[in-house]
Chain A
Amino acid sequence: MTMKKGILVMLVTALVFLLAACGTNGNDNNKSPGTSESASGSPDGSTSASNSPEAIPTGLKGDFEIQYFVGGYGDAWWKDVIDQFQKLNPELNIKQSAGPKINDQMKPRWIQGNPPDVVYIDGSGSNPRQMVEDDQLLDLTDWIADAKNIDGEKLLDVMIAKPDEYNGSIYNIPLVFGSYGTFYDQALFEKNGWEVPQDYESFLALSDKIKASGISPYVHAGIYPDYILGGFLYPAIISANGDDGQILKDMGDMKEGVFKSEPVMKALNQLKEITDKGYIDPGAVAINHTDSQMMFLQHKAAFIPNGLWLESEMKKDAPADFKYGFVPSITQAKGGKFVALPYTSTMAVAKKAKNPETAKAFIQFIFTKQASLSWAEKTGALMNVKVDLESSSAGDTAKNAMKYYNSDNTIVAPVVVFNADVFKVMGDATIALTMKKITPEEWADRVEKAAAKVRK
């Protein structure tokens, strides 16, 4: 466990250096634990957070409802932080609305204007852009500007990825941070004497060898096109756009013509090329993420586009000798930079929250280093709060990822949330392309049309 923690901490540290203008130095979480004044008098006083007493949100009252999606990260972290929050505020009546289908289940409540107070936006059926368009979220622009966490640090300072802006306003705050990339098994590569590809050309050359050895070079989760988009197509587009991530933002904003622009067409043709050469496993189109990941672990496929959460998600099922290897992207031209595509899941306060102050207090309560560590421990993924710890027993994913993130040779793409219609069409078209049902031109046609329809 501690090793795992160490790995993640290292990784976060690396990301911090990469993404933040200035890191916070040293251990500043050395204030005395301040749970004694919590009115709960709970015997274990288990708030592990090291809080500055005056900032602890105690004595909050009334009803308070939290909606959170439960997926790959489980719900242990949520149960834990909510428990702590409850202990600090024993008179608060906390209701948790959670589960893998919570977005569908809560939808009618949002329509009626009877939403929960605070929501973690993740999983199928959720889209922060739509929630903003539907005017469901509280404008947090002013509040976030100088909101501090319970350790007295400014929230904006501790975050790795900054909040997205919609027309200049901030509505949601990234809680989970991740990055897409392409994974491989180092052990397998070493055994076969395969060189890790540094660019598209070497990826093609290696894939040819891999295919000849009877293994599928590439597998992805066809049911959820997010993976091949995030791990292959978006980085390819950015590389083709001269390493400028602005194009991805333009795609998110559905600018006219962007989907048939030259960089996009170039990227699509790369996808078409690996399809035509038969490098993508034929089963990929029909499987979900866990199936594709299992195939990858079983060496039925050599590469998989996925996120940094992969290692912890599959830790039960990885063969003992498996060594996770990671490259941010495989689509850049020879000598080109790697493109890392970050990924976030966000938290927001409902505009119609009955207890918005508590909602904000809760956000302040959870955006701490302690919570971030706990998240890493319980979920194996990264929370969007910089943690600074001098542990260094880094593991496979982290070691590899870190090399790239620390390097000048890697571009970090912007976080973009697509319109649901456009994303659906883009996903469908991408899958159709990998099935050789359509051409890149038809892809562009379809997505442009969808974007035009939304723009209207």
Chain B
Amino acid sequence: MTHNAQRKLFIFVCLVPAFLFFCLFTIYPIVRGMYISLFDWSGSSEHMTFIGLNNFKALYEDPIVWKAIGNDYFLVVGKVIGIVLLATLFAISVTRLRIRGAAFYRLVFFIPNIISIVVIGVLWRFVYNPSIGFLNAFLSLFSDTPVKTPWLGDTGTALWSILWPSIWAGVGFYFLLLVAAILGIPASLYEAAEIDGASQATQFRRITLPLIWEQVKVSILHIVMTTLNGSFVMVLLMTEGGPDNATQVLGSYLYQMGFKQFHMGAAAALGVVILALSMLTTLVLQLLLRRDPVELS
């Protein structure tokens, strides 16, 4: 076999079977889902009627869709800020601030990541339960009258109450990631800064942040994507989108439409909207987060 043929064979074997396999089980169903979005289909009937873009038109006119998009971005922004801030704070604490017990925190903070989201959902529903939940019982200790706030049942608090467990469950992973990134920064840089008399804050701004920026960026992108595509699981487990659609996100609305209200065509159209939004968001973020790479001296 010639060298060139060997090379081609290698590329082929490494690439093509995996790609075909991948296309069959992810791309094909997605394309098929897009196709379904052009039909009026209950999702349980054997018959489908082609209606062009009417599903999209109906979604455009549906106020719940707009509310759901708003909620999606609320969760995206809330999770990005909450997780990145906390993870960075904790990571700095156990590394640069040299707080003792780093090994312990690294062990403990990651635990929510290994717990199934179903379990997390059940646990937090109990925390928020208005009559037997932990939160109200706790708050009642500081109040003369028993606190009965329906955390998941008030349009004002419900979405916040979903945001919090999402942050709770997410911090550990990014914490470890950022710890690793900080530990990877050469100590000599900090030593040089010390000699220049730079304070901790300055060191953070001048050295730590620029050098972990790549990881922060990856974290942000990852949180955004997983939130847009996956936050609906938490919503379904905690509130099913209620009360009065106050916590509806696109994914949970898709589930509601497709599996509860028998509009699979509209649900598929929602899926396309989610896809478009997450691509657009990622693209915009990529541009926003672009920052001159910092060269190590």
Contact = CB atoms under 8 A, between A and B. Distances in A.
Assess A/B contact in the complex (Cβ within 8 A).
yes
A110 B259 CA distance: 13
B295 interface: no
The SS class assigned to the B binding surface is loop
Interface in A144-161: none
A295 B146 CA distance: 14
Contact of B260 (A282, A295, A420): A420
A107 B129 contact: no
A6 B80 CA distance: 60
Given A136-B45, A284-B150, A286-B151, A107 B244 contact: no
Nearest to B61: A453
B95 interface: no
A287 B150 contact: yes
Interface stretch (A48-56, A68-76, A125-133, A377-385): A125-133
B153 A428 contact: no
B202 interface: no
A124 interface: yes
Contacts of B149: 282-283
Interface in B242-285: 242-245, 256, 259-263
Contact of A135 (B43, B47, B129, B153): B47
Interface string A272-295: 000000000111111100010011
A402 interface: no
B153 A283 contact: yes
B43 A107 contact: yes
A111 B43 contact: yes
A437 B244 contact: yes
A421 interface: yes
B153 A287 contact: yes
Nearest to B45: A134
B157 to A, nearest CB: 9
B45 A135 contact: yes
Contacts of A136: 44-45
A223 B242 contact: yes
A291 B129 contact: yes
B171 interface: no
Contacts of A437: 155, 244
Contacts of B158: 286
Given A107-B259, A282-B150, A428 B245 contact: yes
Given A113-B46, A134-B45, A432 B261 contact: no
A69 to B, nearest CB: 14
Given A131-B44, A134-B45, A283 B130 contact: yes
A253 B158 CA distance: 34
Interface in B132-169: 132, 148-155, 158
Contacts of A285: 150, 153-154, 243
A92 B19 CA distance: 45
Nearest to A300: B131
B72 interface: no
Given A223-B242, A284-B150, A435-B243, 13 more contacts: A134-B45, A134-B262, A136-B44, A223-B239, A282-B149, A283-B148, A284-B153, A285-B153, A286-B130, A286-B150, A286-B152, A287-B130, A428-B243
The 8 closest A-B pairs by CB, nearest first: A286-B153, A283-B130, A285-B153, A286-B150, A134-B45, A432-B244, A286-B152, A420-B261
24 contacts: A111-B45, A124-B260, A125-B259, A125-B260, A130-B262, A134-B42, A134-B45, A135-B47, A222-B243, A281-B148, A282-B149, A284-B153, A285-B150, A285-B153, A286-B128, A287-B131, A287-B150, A291-B132, A420-B261, A424-B260, A428-B243, A432-B243, A432-B244, A435-B155
